[in-house]
Structure 1
């Protein structure tokens, strides 16, 4: 019996082992994670020793030599023993999760619940919420917002994926399909904020919304927006809705539109330019800037827009822009304008056609070192600006200028070449001047006697330098008047005024060692120049007109000049020390300059003496016949032969004081408690303050002149008082007596009577100052200034800069800086010109004095209300020539502004309430009127 039990136990044990082995083998063969057969076996790299076994055993595994393997790359050779198959339902990456409070996992349902500032990350998706639930089996994640004791949301569920962000009360999202559904969602698309009761995300780019609210207000409860029941949103591209209506502060406005389209593009995209409504008394009702913007390619785009008014006025502009990185960029604008004021048959009916051409171009010197090309063209009809409606800034702009320049500099050589074209026009006088072509070739100063490799002090002759300058100019000037007035065509007038000249000069310089212990610097020089002109002028005084008339005589004429001189410069210092502990010293610096020069008379026949007046009151003036048709009289003692002394005296005054406590040493300009920022504090705690930046005079004495040897004294003065008030003055004093016509005589002012240094013939004084409070946020103020500078210096916006400046001038309240509580800018100018028949300013009732002041200021009445004014006052007429004021209100995402110009030729009124966001810049309530009180020519 015992033996039978042992046999039974052994059989049972063997049976169990066989069953376990069979089950394990079956599980291995049926595992879904493994498949395929064993790979090819390769020859072992470690040779085995041959063992003579007495019992031969046949090997069941065939070892294949690697040299016999196929080299066909099309056959896949597995390098591992097993191949792992990835399930289609497996995620493409790990899911990371974190919770501050706790994590609860349910292994059977594979659900993880996260509590307390929970966070989940998967690829480019990050979800943060007060609580998160992750279902690993279904690849689902859900999150809910947190609420306070009153039931209000205290913390949203926030999901960020790529550049998208969603804030929701509740959301469910599938990792694998990227589909989900959210409730109470807020997301931002560019400048647009989208609020929705329910959002269904069907793929990575497309969403459907129910109860959608579109706004540019960034608050959770926005001030305004557009509400639609259903919407479709294509990420960063477009949003389309059904019936839509506006809301203000949750109050619906009963204005319905059948559908809504909101562009959500980032960057450039083609589209319609929305117009704005305008009203003008002379032109009627109108649409402004209606047009289309087209992106042509990566380098070009263009916009076409126009204005149209009910009285028949219209304008059209074509404005392409181009840019190629690291090479060039620019913009072009061509505009046509047809202006009709009032109605045909009215006595004040007015009609004219005008044009404008603008081109701005700049090249990157890195693309072609040594070569540059730039253009800044602003050409137009002389009446174009005055016919722009509702634009005071452009209406008063009477000047325009253009320049196109190409230059080349040879590297490692002293040569440079420049070709340019210039244009200037005076819209008030309707005079247009064009200079083209202008060419210049320059050889920079070279030192022929200087050694290539020198050591020690250079010899005096090694400092001898020679240069060369050659140029050619061509000019055309004409008045833009109807041909019937001058009875000649514009082309004919241009050919009649065509002038050219060619110049060349050779300057020679020499630097000598200083003398008197280095106190006096010596610099001799010599130069020779020639000028060829194609015509000369003759002058005569017409008694009946009481003026001088000039006539042109064509022909090639030579004008040449040679000068030699030597100059001496030094500086003298005077200082007065104080015993006061705060005021240390005052220093006076005097810099006298004396130069001896000689200019021989090489142009005796180029000057004409003209008699002005009759009888005993007659006097004589001189004209340079080669200076041009519209040149002014010249001083004969400086225009012809000159040999004498040029002298001048420059001064400045400084004060040295002890800096107040708390003032830190600085290597750059800094500001103390008094607001002074023009001084530096040295290591001993002292700082220097400039009292007078400069004052002095210059003049000359011509020893070869037969009379009037002493030239007028030019006086100047400049300073910056308290680092706040810029003050400058200059004047001209003639040292001779004047006759009844205001013309200098040969007698000195101090001869034959009491001492008198001369007569003040002209003078000017200008003063300006600005005060402003510190900004509330310094970083915000810096960013705002950088943005303005970038826009004003961007060549792509050159064509629009004038329009932008005009719009800013016309609507200052829309550009109020609420970050600066207040600012004031004041300027004053006074000029004096002694009446004279020669200068054309002779009038018994004219005293020669003109003065005016301009002012502007901005004040924050409250943190959200701002009031600003600017104006110009003429003291001669005792009238305010221009005056405007504005008031604005910051409405967070909106801005209200009222602008009034009650004084001037162009009077204007404007009321605007508009969103701040550029996306809705045309969605504004605008009411404006303009009044024109001037006359047309």
Structure 2
């Protein structure tokens, strides 16, 4: 009644006046029920109601369905008007908005607005299982009931996949916002869904497609066997965007240095933005040792990309109060930055930084740093260059460099080096056309270099004392060159170079009578000196062909081609005596008994940043001969009409000089260097040698007598070295392309200035490695070629051989002699073993040795690395799930290297 009263929107009419009856009415018994008088005398409603309000506040009810329901079937479509149902058989399809159901049989009930979908059954079993798809969410159940009105669904025995996670549930309820509630479900990342090697069983699961999975009490099964691995609840983000989260650590015990139990590589990952992230990781040992790592990656498309990493470790050995207790702090900073070429064509900024404690990689207790302990050099470079287009073009470059020897702990820094260069200017060139002749080809440049150089040690780095011996200066040079042809076969070039050197560091040298010693005093202040020189060069190219197919047209070697490039040069270096001074030193007595003082000569620019001027006149002739040998070989392919070219000797060079102005030892040693390639360029050999024509006296000093005149050979071998590298695999001689090595394995070595050929071992960071789609494709390719393992086993091998010989003063000794090797063998598509080692023939011992074992366990992976001996002996075992969702589910055990202090 209240609804009728207040829902009436028209004006209420006036109440009619009752008529007075002629007869007195009977008394009316009062009813306890209250009835609205208005409702009793309400006039008959008008069917055509005109609302006094133009826009009614009550909205028009929504249509029953928002869109059309389309359906089809390959078998038959049956309409039952009495039941208001539609039956679809054989490959039935129903589409409604973004929802699609495909099944063997579908029933559309228009009375209840429900859609039933199920499988077809025949003598062979069930077929055409339903597939429910909405947006990007896909569910494969045995049967489904869907409500068209509220878009809810009941799903039976469903299978759904989201971002690699496969979920099975006997009963699933789907809400209208696509949220799925599952009961007694199981989930896994295994590829074999019919017989998964592992799965998790959970009473309740909430799945929001593309966003998250929330599970209740859960336990793990391995091949159907329950395990004690259980969780009260779990949360799995499904967003394809990067998300912040906890990085699960590794647990273990350090028995080598008595640091106790530890956790390593645990922390938190911050997804700051789409362009920047940050990982904060830490290590902690129960004896008080700890480590901190900050790692950040950044990138902006078409602009730049890079990464930054800082590592700090405070290492305690043993326990405080014990006699063997020590404390040491080490650190390492890495920064890599590269600019996209499209960002700015006229300027470029790049950085490659690797600096820190010299003993960081040797003393670090983090497993990831063991392989890098073999690196002897840390190097850094940060540079910015700017080009100013025009005529002439101007280039400006600022560079800061760092070089650190981890053995001697010496550090060399330039902070910074500023270079300015002006492009070539041809003052006599014609305004149009080609430059011809000696005059028109005259050109000059201007180069300027300013540098601030620091030489210090690891212990003084970062302190004010590191600047005490710093050198600063600036060098200006103007080279003037020209070139021309002589007799059409000879190329002639001539040049002169003027240099002016500014320095802020000079010296004064004198003799102290009291101490009877030479005293050198450093002077800080501006000073300068100027030098110049002249050089000319004439060269040509000679070609020689030696055919071998005159008698036999089908000879394997068709011809050998020799290209020789001889050149003759002349160089004049004047003496700049004006920059040299003399002072008297010690008193000596000659044969006649006369007392004389020795005289010593020096220049105040000795030890300056760009060197000192020359005080000896030099006029020398140089001879250089370059050679290349190539062979034309008949191709094995009969369809090829031209022979193949093979390089036999690449750049076999000979060089020597003769100083016309020297009073003795005019002839410089003959230097030879070259390179060879063998076995389809799989083996490269580089060699060099120094041959001295002069003999040695009994004190092993060089004398002005040719060695052949002293009863020896024409030349005396004073130094030689050979470096050989060899890389091959099972496809090297089959003509098949070789597979590329995983780029991620190179990254750590490159950042640490190490080798990329695994000869120093391979960094195995199993915990943080992400299993990518490329890994999956590589594994599938192996399994697809399973028959290849019946007659061949994939393998690869890398060798490096080096020997150095020294005989400058009759040492006649091998300075170094070593062979390093690294290789991997795939025993099966799932088993890979590898090793890196070497042998030092000089010291008769093995170098750093590492063994690697890897096993693919379907959804799991197992790795084991072992350093069997040396002070770095250790091992690391890891087994974990490949999926990035569950990579924290792992078992890792390791043995830390023994105590490492100093070298």
Q: Which TM-score band (shorter chain)?
A: 0.7 to 0.9
The match for 2:562 among 572, 579, 588 is 588
Please give the alpha-carbon distance, in whole angstroms, between the structure 1 residues aligned to 2:656 and 2:108.
Answer: 91
Residues 1:215 and 2:173 aligned together: no
Kindly provide the CA deviation profile for residues 70-97 of structure 1, in whole angstroms up to 9, marking residues without a partner as x.
xxxxx99xxxxxxxx99612333x5454
Question: Cα 1:808–1:587, aligned 2, differ >3 Å: closer, same or farther?
Answer: closer
Kindly provide the CA deviation profile for residues 869-916 of structure 1, in whole angstroms up to 9, marking residues without a partner as x.
111211112211221212222111111222221022200112211112
Alignment-derived partner of residue 496 in structure 1: 468
Alignment of structure 1 residues 838-853 onto 2, 5 Å: 847-853=813-819
Alignment-derived partner of residue 183 in structure 1: 156
The match for 1:201 among 165, 174, 178 is 174
Alignment-derived partner of residue 313 in structure 1: 289
Kindly provide the CA deviation profile for residues 143-194 of structure 1, in whole angstroms up to 9, marking residues without a partner as x.
334678564x665433343333222222333455442222222222223222
Alignment-derived partner of residue 91 in structure 1: 66
Alignment-derived partner of residue 749 in structure 1: 707
Query: How far off its partner does 1:481 sit?
Result: 2.9
Query: How far off its partner does 1:112 sit?
Result: 4.0
Alignment-derived partner of residue 689 in structure 1: 646
Please give the alpha-carbon distance, in whole angstroms, between the structure 2 residues aligned to 1:625 and 1:129.
Answer: 95
Root mean square deviation, CA, Å: 4.2
Question: Cα 1:331–1:457, aligned 2, differ >3 Å: closer, same or farther?
Answer: closer
Alignment-derived partner of residue 340 in structure 1: 316
Please give the alpha-carbon distance, in whole angstroms, between the structure 2 residues aligned to 1:539 and 1:165.
Answer: 87
Question: Cα 1:643–1:343, aligned 2, differ >3 Å: closer, same or farther?
Answer: same
Secondary structure class of the residue paired with 2:896: strand
Secondary structure class of the residue paired with 2:885: helix
The match for 2:500 among 514, 527, 530 is 530
Alignment of structure 1 residues 343-422 onto 2, 5 Å: 343-389=319-365, 390=367, 391-413=369-391, 414-422=393-401
Query: How far off its partner does 1:657 sit?
Result: 2.4
Alignment-derived partner of residue 571 in structure 1: 542
Alignment-derived partner of residue 254 in structure 1: 228
Kindly provide the CA deviation profile for residues 126-154 of structure 1, in whole angstroms up to 9, marking residues without a partner as x.
44444444456655444334678564x66
Alignment of structure 1 residues 711-722 onto 2, 5 Å: 711-722=668-679
Question: Cα 1:346–1:741, aligned 2, differ >3 Å: closer, same or farther?
Answer: farther
Secondary structure class of the residue paired with 1:918: coil
Please give the alpha-carbon distance, in whole angstroms, between the structure 1 residues aligned to 2:102 and 2:532.
Answer: 83
Alignment-derived partner of residue 828 in structure 1: 801
The match for 1:432 among 400, 411, 414 is 411
Please give the alpha-carbon distance, in whole angstroms, between the structure 2 residues aligned to 1:99 and 1:624.
Answer: 101
Question: Cα 1:510–1:216, aligned 2, differ >3 Å: closer, same or farther?
Answer: same
Alignment-derived partner of residue 886 in structure 1: 852
Question: Cα 1:127–1:446, aligned 2, differ >3 Å: closer, same or farther?
Answer: farther
The match for 2:444 among 466, 486, 492 is 466
Larger mean CA deviation between 157-166 and 202-211 belongs to: 157-166
TM-score by length of 1: 0.76
Kindly provide the CA deviation profile for residues 262-306 of structure 1, in whole angstroms up to 9, marking residues without a partner as x.
222322111222111133221332111222222334444323221
- Greater helix proportion: 1
Please give the alpha-carbon distance, in whole angstroms, between the structure 2 residues aligned to 1:515 and 1:490.
Answer: 58
Alignment of structure 1 residues 594-605 onto 2, 5 Å: 594-602=568-576
Alignment-derived partner of residue 11 in structure 1: none
Question: Does the CA contact (< 8 Å) of 1:884 and 1:903 recur in 2?
Answer: no
Question: Cα 1:853–1:133, aligned 2, differ >3 Å: closer, same or farther?
Answer: farther
Query: How far off its partner does 1:929 sit?
Result: 0.5
Gaps of 5+ in 2: 1-47, 511-517, 586-599, 783-792
Please give the alpha-carbon distance, in whole angstroms, between the structure 1 residues aligned to 2:316 and 2:440.
Answer: 71
Question: Does the CA contact (< 8 Å) of 1:301 and 1:320 recur in 2?
Answer: yes
The match for 2:453 among 475, 485, 492 is 475
Question: Does the CA contact (< 8 Å) of 2:690 and 2:720 recur in 1?
Answer: yes
Alignment of structure 1 residues 538-937 onto 2, 5 Å: 556-558=527-529, 560-578=531-549, 579-580=551-552, 581-583=554-556, 584-602=558-576, 628=607, 640-661=616-637, 684-723=641-680, 724-739=682-697, 742-754=700-712, 756-774=713-731, 788-789=742-743, 808-810=762-764, 819=782, 821-834=794-807, 836=809, 847-932=813-898, 934-936=900-902
Question: Does the CA contact (< 8 Å) of 1:574 and 1:588 recur in 2?
Answer: yes
Please give the alpha-carbon distance, in whole angstroms, between the structure 1 residues aligned to 2:437 and 2:286.
Answer: 81
Please give the alpha-carbon distance, in whole angstroms, between the structure 2 residues aligned to 1:536 and 1:265.
Answer: 65
Please give the alpha-carbon distance, in whole angstroms, between the structure 2 residues aligned to 1:421 and 1:737.
Answer: 45
Query: How far off its partner does 1:499 sit?
Result: 0.5
Question: Cα 1:877–1:804, aligned 2, differ >3 Å: closer, same or farther?
Answer: closer
Question: Does the CA contact (< 8 Å) of 2:761 and 2:850 recur in 1?
Answer: no
Please give the alpha-carbon distance, in whole angstroms, between the structure 2 residues aligned to 1:191 and 1:780.
Answer: 32
Gaps of 5+ in 1: 1-34, 38-74, 77-84, 483-488, 541-547, 612-620, 664-680, 837-841
Count of residue pairs brought into register by the alignment: 797
Larger mean CA deviation between 743-752 and 321-330 belongs to: 321-330
Secondary structure class of the residue paired with 1:256: strand
Question: Does the CA contact (< 8 Å) of 2:580 and 2:603 recur in 1?
Answer: yes
Question: Does the CA contact (< 8 Å) of 2:695 and 2:707 recur in 1?
Answer: yes
Query: How far off its partner does 1:244 sit?
Result: 0.7
Alignment-derived partner of residue 482 in structure 2: 510
Question: Does the CA contact (< 8 Å) of 2:803 and 2:814 recur in 1?
Answer: no
Alignment-derived partner of residue 286 in structure 1: 262
Please give the alpha-carbon distance, in whole angstroms, between the structure 2 residues aligned to 1:764 and 1:202.
Answer: 76
Secondary structure class of the residue paired with 1:494: helix
Please give the alpha-carbon distance, in whole angstroms, between the structure 1 residues aligned to 2:706 and 2:208.
Answer: 87
Kindly provide the CA deviation profile for residues 757-778 of structure 1, in whole angstroms up to 9, marking residues without a partner as x.
3222221111111221349xx9
Question: Does the CA contact (< 8 Å) of 1:812 and 1:886 recur in 2?
Answer: no
Question: Does the CA contact (< 8 Å) of 1:373 and 1:407 recur in 2?
Answer: yes
Please give the alpha-carbon distance, in whole angstroms, between the structure 2 residues aligned to 1:768 and 1:36.
Answer: 99
Query: How far off its partner does 1:715 sit?
Result: 0.7
Secondary structure class of the residue paired with 1:906: coil
Secondary structure class of the residue paired with 1:440: strand
Secondary structure class of the residue paired with 2:666: coil
Query: How far off its partner does 1:346 sit?
Result: 4.2
TM-score by length of 2: 0.79
Please give the alpha-carbon distance, in whole angstroms, between the structure 1 residues aligned to 2:157 and 2:673.
Answer: 72
Please give the alpha-carbon distance, in whole angstroms, between the structure 2 residues aligned to 1:200 and 1:865.
Answer: 43
